[in-house]
Amino acid sequence: MNKTLYIDNFTFWTENETEKIPDVSFIPAMLRRRMSVLEKIAISLAARITPKSDDYQIVFASRFGEWEQTIKLIRQFYEDKEMSPMGFSNSVHNAAMGHLSLLTHNKNSYTSIAGGEKTIENALLDAICSAQPTLFVYAEEHSPKEYEHLFERPVLSHGCALFIDKNGKNKFELLSNNQDLPNLSFQDLQDCLQNAADIKTSNWKLIKKQ
């Protein structure tokens, strides 16, 4: 595996005391009211770097997906013996990219990936191996209190977006790798793009070229 690729633009975001959700004021109010927190994060980040052209594919990644929406549905079914159709439509893993496609009028394909602890590295590999210009979006929402006992610390809302295109400003080499390494993290990806650090996974590595 040996491929040269170019990343045109990228953006990262993590919630803080003053900003629990990135700016979504550009989304029409009627649609914005129906969107989940995860959808707002993903679409806000994608909008920062999405080109005006609609000629690109999309790869979306989220390890946990719409867990707030799913918990609401389960609770509603337990208490009311029914589920909200709108709530269900917002609980599926590709809901965010469906809304993004509608907003950008992009009729090309999109993929939604959840791969446990390997979510970022599997989805990113899918994006960088594409032969077409590709928008990569990763997003997670704040962990619900029902699940926080499973983690050392609460999962903060966070995400990133990057656009891969042959005319991009940042050149990388994708190479094969065969080492026993930790899973690729959000911080690893951020360090690669912002500080030119190499990405190394158990199966592949991404090297910044000058």
**pLDDT category, 85, cuts 50, 70, 90?**
low
SS3 166: coil
Task: List domains and CATH numbers for the chain.
Answer: 2-209 (3.40.47)
**What was the pLDDT predicted at 81?**
74
Q: How many CB atoms lie within 10 A of CB 138?
A: 26
Instruction: Find residue 139's DSSP bridge partners.
Output: 159
Whole-angstrom Cα distance, residue 200 to residue 206?
Answer: 7
The residues that bridge with 7 in the sheet, in sequence order, are 164, 170
Per-residue pLDDT band for 86 (boundaries 50, 70, 90) equals: low
How high is the pLDDT of residue 94?
81
**What DSSP designation does 91 have?**
T
The reported pLDDT for the residue numbered 69 is 84
Mean pLDDT of 183-209: 94
- Of residues 80 and 144, more confidence is placed in 144
Mean pLDDT of 90-101: 80
Residue 91 clears pLDDT 80, i.e. is over it: no
Helices assigned H by DSSP within the chain: 29-34, 37-49, 67-80, 85-89, 95-104, 119-128, 186-195
Query: What token pair was written down for 87?
Result: 């709530």
66-75: pLDDT as tens digits: 888 888 888 8
Average pLDDT over residues 27-43: 90
Rounded Cα distance between 128 and 201, Å, is 14
Q: What is the pLDDT of residue 113?
A: 94
**Percent above pLDDT 70 for the chain:** 95
167 burial level (CB within 10 Å; 0-12, 13-18, 19+): exposed
What 3-state DSSP class applies to 35?
coil
